[in-house]
Amino acid sequence: MKLKILNGVYFLILLIMSAAFLFPVFIVLINSFKLKFSISQTPILLPNADTFVSLENYTEGIKNTGFFSAFLWSLFITVFSVAVIVVFTSMTAWYIVRVRSFLNSLLYYALVFSMIVPFQMVMFTMSKTANVLRLDNPIGIIFIYLGFGAGLSVFIFTGFIKNVPITIEEAATIDGCNTLQVFWIVVFPVLKPTAITVAILNTMWIWNDYLLPYLVIGNDYKTIPIAVQYLKGGYGSVDMGALMAMLVLSILPVVIFYLSSQKYIIKGVASGAVKG
Amino acid sequence: MKNPIKRYFPIFVLPTLIAFLIAFVIPFLLGFFLSFTEFTTVSNAQFVGISNYIKIFTEDATFLNALWFTIKFAVVSVLSINLIAFTLALLLTRSLPLTKLFRTVFFMPNLIGGIVLGYIWQVIINGVLYNFGYSITSSENFGYWGLIILMNWQMIGYMMIIYIAGIQNIPTDILEAAKVDGANGRTTLFRIIIPSVMPSITICLFLTITNSFKLFDQNLALTAGAPGERTQMVALDIYNTFYSRVGYEGIGQAKAVVFFIIVAIIALLQLRLTRSKEEEA
């Protein structure tokens, strides 16, 4: 009996907390359908006959920010960077574990070290380097993301590979597989859950990343965070209606991604952290 | 016998190595060097010794202000995020209805980017303050608490997931045994659950402290440092020193080096401290 009441109270607490967590998104959603001048004054109110504007904010926002092109650039950069990171860092991690040498250890510790260095430390010099080497385009930035993502990704992969028995690999070599075949046919399938973790963590980071793409390609190519910041950061008065609509459109792909692959995301975050 | 894998170095390691050198190692070393120079473009760097470092702590007041603001922010947000996340994890590992749905909701804000998060909260906070004739940039305190609320909203779900994984890893027979021995809820929490999830606590503290110190996007979007530069955190201060003040690049880079050293020291201290706690447990 006492337990039942207690559980009831706990359930109520969770219910209230969930409402509090959903509230901000709900506010942005209702305001995206409101007249721009009524947003800053009464953001908590639902739109009424006077303030409802249908999709006007959306058409305006999409036009002003070039949202579709921003969406496609975000998608392009995220998908290819994550693919490149998973392919190359898994190979590097395996090589580091299987070939013991001073240089490999040095590389490993340098990669781990890079994880704690704040971005501001390399912000200016990295964007200059990217500029000089002509990496300041959507293809070049994939290469830069490989360099920045390598720390965490190699770290997670090596943590897992250390526990993979070497005997299957040796058997495959005796059967006549070359090293590339050994890795992609025998090793990589075993790494798949870890690869998903690495892919998820990097997707969450790259999709939302603002400063790196802004500094490297921001003048010519806008990703979603850059487009949103551009709308707000521009001079003159801010069109609050368009801003609300853009916030909704930015959240939408994330929510769809989250709901469709929630299982992997939660697992990825939990296992990525345990190994950290 | 030669390891046959070694021949594959160019395929397996070289791409990652070159990318890592270009994106991180070279900029890192170059940044270290440039912090001792005065420059506007990299090629015109003039060696000036440690004068940039002296200036950070003497004539340029923004850095120490930003550092103090960051520390105040980090302390409160790290405590609140971890307390709330741990409490939610405890509740969600009981057999209550809808726990999966609750977990989904609490984690969701974490996937939204910092810039978008900042504007969401700016609208809400401004909407509330408007009724009293204020806006978020009216006072330093509004920005401060706004950032803390925002950070909690974003990070609680992530930490909660890590705590849930930790709690679920506790063998059920230990909990059963405690129950049989007549341990009450509080004893079970402090004697069994908390010591067993020490590794999760380590990683959560590490993540929240470093993320609080490195916060940039949210700061830029929510207040951009206003009023004045009073809600400017270290990362934003460094950014503004580089890109809004001509001729201050060397000072900006020196600030970045100091920032890096502070973050590195905190990370190492914190890891060592909680690791020793883990061993005791």
Q: What are phi and psi of A218, to 5 degrees?
A: -55, -30
Question: Looking at residue A12, what is its pLDDT?
Answer: 92
In a domain, A95, yes or no: yes
In eight-state DSSP terms, residue B97 is: T
Question: Looking at residue B148, what is its pLDDT?
Answer: 96
The reply to whether residue B260 touches residue A118, judged by beta carbons under 8 angstroms, is yes
What CATH number did the domain enclosing A225 receive? 1.10.3720.10
Q: Name the strand (E) or helix (H) holding B165.
A: helix B140-168
In a domain, A79, yes or no: yes
Percent of chain B at pLDDT above 90?
45
The reply to whether residue A240 touches residue B221, judged by beta carbons under 8 angstroms, is no
Same domain membership, residue B155 and residue B210 = yes
The reply to whether residue B165 touches residue A96, judged by beta carbons under 8 angstroms, is no
ipTM value of the model?
Answer: 0.90
Q: Residue B252 and residue B241: Cα distance in Å, rounded?
A: 5
Interface test with A, best of B52, B91, B116 (most A CBs within 10 A): B116
| Residue B244 near chain A (CB below 8 Å) | no
The reply to whether residue A173 touches residue B242, judged by beta carbons under 8 angstroms, is no
What count of CB pairs under 8 Å joins A to B?
Answer: 290
Instruction: Give residue B77's pLDDT band: very low, low, confident or very high (50, 70, 90).
Output: very high
Average pLDDT rounded to a whole number, residues A68-79: 94
Interface test with B, best of A124, A158, A226 (most B CBs within 10 A): A124
Question: Looking at residue A275, what is its pLDDT?
Answer: 43
Nearest CB partner across the interface for A120, out of B127, B165, B238 = B238
Same domain membership, residue B158 and residue B226 = yes
Question: Looking at residue A11, what is its pLDDT?
Answer: 92
The reply to whether residue B216 touches residue A265, judged by beta carbons under 8 angstroms, is no
With 90 as the cut, is the pLDDT of residue A138 above it?
Answer: yes
Identify which has the larger pLDDT, B20 or A182: B20
Min mean pLDDT across A191-195, B176-180, B261-265 is at B176-180
Same domain membership, residue B35 and residue B101 = no
Note the pLDDT tens digit of each residue in B133-158.
Answer: 888 888 888 989 999 999 999 999 99
Q: How far is B198 from chain A (nearest CA, A)?
A: 11
In a domain, A155, yes or no: yes
Instruction: Give residue B281's pLDDT band: very low, low, confident or very high (50, 70, 90).
Output: very low
Percent of chain A at pLDDT above 70?
93
In a domain, A4, yes or no: no
Residues spanned by the domain of A76 = 62-275
| Alpha-helical segments (H) within chain A | 2-31, 36-39, 56-65, 67-98, 102-114, 119-132, 140-161, 167-174, 179-181, 188-208, 211-217, 224-233, 240-260, 262-275
Residue B250 neighbours by CB under 8 Å, 6+ apart: B34, B35, B36, B37, B38, B39, B45, B48, B52
Give the nearest chain A residue to B130 (CA atoms): A41
Residues spanned by the domain of B45 = 4-51
The reply to whether residue B16 touches residue A266, judged by beta carbons under 8 angstroms, is no
Show the tokens assigned to A200: 């998820």
| Best-predicted range by mean pLDDT (A90-94, B170-174, B219-223) | A90-94
Question: Looking at residue B174, what is its pLDDT?
Answer: 84
Q: How far is A251 from chain B (nearest CA, A)?
A: 6
Instruction: Give residue B29's pLDDT band: very low, low, confident or very high (50, 70, 90).
Output: very high
Please provide the distance, in angstroms rounded to a whole number, between the alpha carbons at the two ends of chain B: 45
Percent of chain B at pLDDT above 70?
96
With 50 as the cut, is the pLDDT of residue A276 above it?
Answer: no
Question: Looking at residue B2, what is its pLDDT?
Answer: 63
Per the CB < 8 A criterion, the answer to whether B41 and B247 are in contact is no
The reply to whether residue B15 touches residue A107, judged by beta carbons under 8 angstroms, is no
With 90 as the cut, is the pLDDT of residue B128 above it?
Answer: no
Question: Looking at residue B38, what is its pLDDT?
Answer: 85
Q: How far is A252 from chain B (nearest CA, A)?
A: 10
Question: Looking at residue A236, what is its pLDDT?
Answer: 55
Same domain membership, residue B134 and residue B33 = no
The C-alpha angle A184, A185, A189, rounded to 5 degrees, equals: 80
Residue A74 neighbours by CB under 8 Å, 6+ apart: A207, A223, A224
The reply to whether residue B16 touches residue A150, judged by beta carbons under 8 angstroms, is yes
Question: Looking at residue B280, what is its pLDDT?
Answer: 56
Note the pLDDT tens digit of each residue in A10-24.
Answer: 999 999 999 999 999
Min mean pLDDT across A91-105, A108-122, B263-277 is at B263-277
Same domain membership, residue B43 and residue B114 = no
Average pLDDT rounded to a whole number, residues B162-183: 86
Average pLDDT rounded to a whole number, residues B22-39: 92
What CATH number did the domain enclosing B80 receive? 1.10.3720.10
In a domain, A11, yes or no: no
Nearest CB partner across the interface for A147, out of B19, B92, B153 = B19
Say whether B170 sits in a helix, a strand or coil.
Answer: coil
With 90 as the cut, is the pLDDT of residue B196 above it?
Answer: no
